[in-house]
Chain A
């Protein structure tokens, strides 16, 4: 099984490397999100009266109002960066099966001894792994740029246990989830657009996570973040089985034209 999953992985990566638009997207989306986060962290505390916000991030109580406001924004980056795998999946995963069908490679592929689970796992990991690496690299770049802007004194309040759990547990879980949902969409929808509509469903809860924190409704503690991550890992495992079950070889070969 590992050899066949690896075979799919290598092929997908070879295809990605040969497609300049894919590479541009992999680099462009994170840069855009980092730029946006840095811009908001810089501009909002200058033009918005922090005292009007009325929400303070944990640990920000002793800081001056501008720094406390900036901390509130910087602290969201851990969740904000979850959008990277979700958005990358929205493009790559949703095309994964649709493209095989439109290029006529799916039927020859299904005539090999590859099992559905091997094919789908290869497709999911081929996107989820680079998306995760890009998201981690983006986090590093964000911190480096924030440090250049002189915000490093806030790092002890930002780089908390919740931040690390988000980075190393929640983010892999969200990456997998995004790609599993994208591949399910790709194997059920008749075209990429239909698949993308389904994959958007992953992006919305991430926005919700950011909104509930910014508005101070819920603050994620290390425990709640770990529980959320564990729940998502479980959901990933279940959805992977569902994806295999929903991958109707016959229907894809016969009905898609």
Chain B
């Protein structure tokens, strides 16, 4: 489990992270979403015990990263934004070096295992300098996982990768979550955040919002359902508008015979709306929901915060 309590970091007069409070539950992928300079990397560095907070506290697996960084490092994995390696040395040599710092680890076996999982066994003896960016990123993930950490901090893991390499890496991240690891994932990629994260923290120096993607969507934009009805009448529109779960209802001016209904909660209210319409004698031809993308939600939250 990862816990941040009023976590703040100043660099001189500049505040990089302010009063950040959240909990990442065991086995969860929590996404950190924010623009450049929002403090995502600083947050990860504080939680991973690389830098200390100016104020506030953090706890990772019950340990304080500022007080006992080495003990925290034994149990976490940090994937840094740039996958730095000793390029003149082989992939195996690089992994063996980093693995050699973890107490009680059977280095050779752990290195072989990670190279196999990442599909790099065939290139284990090649210098890292000859690797593509995608291969380096997979090797960096192997380095992050070589000691089987319980908590992972992944800073922009797919940045700069081609679509295929990014998809493969996302597959690996899903597999890691399946193994029960807690993952804090910093990303710019909204599609990736939506696909991978259980919850998303929208972040801009301070926490703007934290919830599941669906809940964030509903918080910012009430779900809008379009119902094409064969026999749409004003009486039907009025009856629907009067339902308690409906925020707003009206005709779609651009599409005759279509009823627009804004609901309180999409998943809960949509089936109730359909049965109610049927009960009111509507002949339903089509029901579809206008889904707002996470990008809409993110931009709306950021603009709101700016305002």
Contacts and interface: CB of A to CB of B under 8 A. Distances in A.
Given A108-B80, A109-B98, A250-B52, A18 B45 contact: no
A113 B73 contact: yes
A51 interface: no
Nearest to B73: A113
Contacts of B80: 104, 107-108, 111
Contacts, number: 76
B100 A4 contact: yes
B88 A115 contact: no
B147 to A, nearest CB: 8
Contacts of B98: 108-109, 112
Given A14-B93, A115-B70, A104 B84 contact: yes
Contact of B101 (A4, A14, A15, A253): A4
Interface string A184-208: 0000000000000000000000000
Interface in B155-189: none
Interface in B68-82: 70-71, 73-74, 76-78, 80, 82
B100 A103 contact: no
B89 A15 contact: yes
Nearest to B78: A111
A239 interface: no
Given A253-B45, A254-B51, A104 B82 contact: yes
Interface in B232-272: none
A4 B87 CA distance: 21
A230 B48 CA distance: 42
Q: How large is the interface on B (under 10, 10 to 19, 20 to 34, 35 or more residues)?
A: 20 to 34
A254 B89 contact: no
A35 B45 CA distance: 52
Given A11-B97, A108-B78, A254-B51, A113 B83 contact: no
Nearest to B75: A113
B143 interface: yes
Nearest to A103: B84
Interface string B78-120: 1010111111110001000110111100000000000000000
Interface residues of A, number: 26
A115 B97 CA distance: 15
Nearest to B72: A113
Interface string A203-229: 000000000000000000000000000
B73 A111 contact: yes
A60 B78 CA distance: 65
A233 interface: no
B50 A104 contact: no
A36 interface: no
Contacts of A109: 98
Interface string A109-129: 111111100000000000000
A245 interface: no
A110 B140 CA distance: 14
B46 to A, nearest CB: 10
Contact of A253 (B51, B71, B87, B103): B51
Contacts of B88: 15, 18-19
- Looking at B51, B83, B97, B103, the one whose CB has the most chain A CB atoms below 10 A away is B97
A4 B73 CA distance: 14
A7 B73 contact: no
Nearest to B76: A111
A104 B70 contact: no
A249 interface: yes
10 contacts: A18-B89, A103-B87, A104-B83, A107-B80, A108-B78, A111-B76, A112-B73, A113-B101, A114-B70, A253-B50
Given A105-B86, A249-B51, A253-B50, 12 more contacts: A19-B88, A103-B85, A103-B87, A109-B98, A111-B48, A111-B73, A112-B98, A113-B103, A114-B70, A253-B45, A254-B11, A254-B51
Cβ-closest 8 pairs across A and B: A104-B84, A7-B100, A111-B78, A112-B101, A105-B84, A104-B82, A18-B88, A113-B70
